Amino acid sequence: MALRIFETDPAARPKATFSDDTVGRFSGGKQENGIPVALPAWRVSTGDPEVAAAIAQLMGGVAVETDSTNENFIDVETTADKVKVVLSGPDAVSSDLKLWNGPSLIHHCDGVEFLSPDEDRGRPCHCPALMEDRKAAAKSKRGPAPSISVSFRLAEDYDLGVFKLQTGSWKLAEVLHEVENALSKIDGEALCSLELEHVEYTTKKGRDVSYRKPVIKVLKAWNEAIADPKF
């Protein structure tokens, strides 16, 4: 049974501290009984009740404290599948390929060469050359999957802090170079749209497929956006 001392005096709860200088994380899914479940809108997790309240007001949803033991123990399952965000530039996006065995990282590369451990860095990783084969290897846990990290601020509440999206989406990985190129053409911060795009199609065998993929659309320079009286 957990202590409930802050229910009677919520102002006494210590401010959350974050190991990576972020105030919360965005996700397109959650775990239910250990099983990944996709969501129709963004889920935001944080350890700061004030951040959770701000997210709920801006993006809809209700802040709920979970049993999680990590620093982001408050979840807001929002009603928004898209939100305007501000990226600092190409450096706000990082990506590589990783294969985990439980908590142990057993393969870490960029698709051509190892990135770690140090003694293997720069050596050929021998991953499949074809994208289809890469995906098949990752699905069967025989090869690494994308590990993409995006850091950003909310355009409508810039001073709330820095958030992070961590995703293993192959769909985003396939177009990430386009996002980075677009960001590199902007001098300074960029206004972007972070979306969970709904995709539906029918396979050649007649099977209906429906899923959501993370999408980053680079819109314009942040300085240009805030100078626009319509913003």
What pLDDT, in 10s, does the model give residues 153-196?
999 999 999 999 999 999 999 999 999 999 999 999 999 999 99
List of E strands, the chain: 24-32, 35-46, 63-65, 74-77, 82-87, 93-101, 104-109, 114-116, 145-154, 163-167, 190-202, 208-221
- Mean pLDDT over 15-29 rounds to 75
Question: What's the CA gap between 42 and 227, in Å, rounded?
Answer: 28
pTM, two decimal places = 0.86
Q: Report if residue 3 sits inside a domain.
A: no
Q: What is the mean pLDDT of the chain?
A: 91
**Which of 63, 80, 97 is the C-terminal boundary of a domain?**
80
- Counting residues of the chain whose pLDDT is more than 90, the rounded percentage is 76
Same domain, 162 and 104: yes
- If one counts the domains in the chain, the total is 2
Q: Name which of 19-23, 126-130, 175-179 the model is least confident about.
A: 19-23
Q: Which residue has the higher pLDDT, 169 or 35?
A: 169
Give 83-118 pLDDT, tens digit per residue.
999 999 999 999 999 999 999 999 999 999 999 999
Same domain, 98 and 51: no
Q: Report if residue 49 sits inside a domain.
A: yes
Same domain, 198 and 117: yes
- Closest listed residue to residue 169, CA positions, set 28, 75, 20: 28
Question: What's the CA gap between 96 and 103, in Å, rounded?
Answer: 17
- pLDDT at residue 4, rounded to an integer: 44
Same domain, 57 and 166: no
Question: What's the CA gap between 186 and 128, in Å, rounded?
Answer: 34
Same domain, 138 and 219: yes
Same domain, 103 and 215: yes
Same domain, 57 and 140: no
Residue 50 lies in domain: 21-80
Query: Residue 78 corresponds to which amino acid?
Result: T
**Which of 48, 65, 80 is the C-terminal boundary of a domain?**
80
- pLDDT at residue 19, rounded to an integer: 45
Q: Report if residue 4 sits inside a domain.
A: no
Same domain, 113 and 58: no
- Counting residues of the chain whose pLDDT is more than 70, the rounded percentage is 91
Question: What's the CA gap between 59 and 100, in Å, rounded?
Answer: 33
- Closest listed residue to residue 62, CA positions, set 40, 50, 78, 49: 78
pLDDT band at 2 (very low <50, low <70, confident <90, very high): very low
- pLDDT at residue 21, rounded to an integer: 86
Q: Report if residue 7 sits inside a domain.
A: no
Q: Report if residue 11 sits inside a domain.
A: no
Q: Report if residue 12 sits inside a domain.
A: no
pLDDT band at 206 (very low <50, low <70, confident <90, very high): confident
**Per-residue tokens: 190:** 């960029």
- pLDDT at residue 209, rounded to an integer: 78
- pLDDT at residue 105, rounded to an integer: 97
CB 193 within 8 A of CB 82: yes
Same domain, 90 and 101: yes
Q: Report if residue 153 sits inside a domain.
A: yes
- pLDDT at residue 82, rounded to an integer: 97
Structure-derived torsion over alpha carbons of residues 126, 130, 136, 142, reported in degrees to the nearest 10: 0
The dihedral built from the CA positions of residue 58, 62, 68 and 69, taken in this order, carries a sign that is: positive
